[in-house]
Amino acid sequence: MKVLLVLTSHDELGDTGRKTGFWLEELAAPYYRFRDAGFDVVLASPKGGRPPLDPKSNEPASQTDETRRFEADSEAMDALGRTVRLDSVSVDDFDTVFYPGGHGPLWDLAEDATSIRLIETTLRAGKPLALVCHAPGVLRHAVNADGTPLVRGKKVTGFTNSEEEGVQLTEVVPFLVEDELVKLGGDYSKGDDWAPYVLRDGLLITGQNPASSGPAADALIELVTKAGA
């Protein structure tokens, strides 16, 4: 089995002068779930090369056993340093796709035509797709074959308005994930702030926050394994 992990290339947190990027736990936890399950893992980003890490995601308060394992893993760090360009990959080469979050995707992946096409073609090919935390926001322009919003009528979750308020970025982000998914007609629901919460609707898996990234990967592995059985 082969999984593509799609990371952001965006590093500016709006007009604040602060840096953003991908959230380390949301890469590290799924990365090891996939590796330990025997998956081949390929990392991609719009610009290729080393994607920007949200500096807050490897501060002591945000570290986990998996983030420490990742940063001490020379093979993992080497793969992170040379992500492939997103426009060079084909969904035909992968069994499934996983999008870690962080605030960065709200600026680039949400508007990236290559990413939008990847999401649409993955699901239309009958392959599962998972997105966690802010990454469900990148579904905002994805559509079904009939042109309707991809999330319309689907059970979805993602970073909540109250979680965004908790990190004091409500007025900084280009859009709020919860509001966007609701506006598009998604059947949005959420769990407690910062607690794991994962939903599956057919081939689409979404997770609410960083703590949901490992469980979302587990759900994706189960779905892919069943599909390949």
Cα–Cα distances in Å, from 148 out to 4, 83, 145?
A: 26, 32, 8
Closest residue by Cα to residue 101 from 51, 34, 50, 155 = 51
Q: Encode pLDDT of 24-74 as tens digits.
A: 999 999 999 999 999 999 999 999 999 999 999 999 999 999 999 999 999
| Class for the domain spanning 2-228 | alpha beta
Cα–Cα distance measured from residue 44 to residue 203, given in angstroms and rounded to the nearest whole number: 21
Residue 103: phi and psi, rounded to 5, are -75, -25
Which residues have C-beta within 8 Å of that of residue 97, sequence separation ≥ 6?
Answer: 3, 4, 5, 6, 91, 118, 119, 122, 127, 128, 129, 130
Residue 225: phi and psi, rounded to 5, are -65, -40
Q: Encode pLDDT of 120-177 as tens digits.
A: 999 999 999 999 999 999 999 999 999 999 999 999 999 999 999 999 999 999 999 9
Per-residue pLDDT for 20 more than 80?
yes
Is there a contact between 226 and 207 (Cβ–Cβ < 8 Å)? no
Q: Largest alpha-carbon pair distance within the chain?
A: 49
Cα–Cα distance measured from residue 95 to residue 164, given in angstroms and rounded to the nearest whole number: 32
pLDDT at residue number 102 = 98
Q: Encode pLDDT of 92-107 as tens digits.
A: 999 999 999 999 999 9
SS3 content of the chain, % helix, strand, coil (to 5): 40, 20, 40
pTM of the model: 0.98
Is there a contact between 109 and 79 (Cβ–Cβ < 8 Å)? no
Mean of pLDDT values over 207-211: 98
Cα–Cα distance measured from residue 107 to residue 36, given in angstroms and rounded to the nearest whole number: 32
Cα–Cα distance measured from residue 212 to residue 177, given in angstroms and rounded to the nearest whole number: 15
Q: What is the residue extent of each domain of the chain?
A: 2-228
pLDDT band of residue 226 (cuts 50, 70, 90) is confident
pLDDT band of residue 229 (cuts 50, 70, 90) is low
Cα–Cα distance measured from residue 75 to residue 69, given in angstroms and rounded to the nearest whole number: 11
pLDDT band of residue 227 (cuts 50, 70, 90) is confident
pLDDT at residue number 170 = 98
Radius of gyration (Cα) for the chain, nearest Å? 16
Question: Which H or E run includes 83?
Answer: none
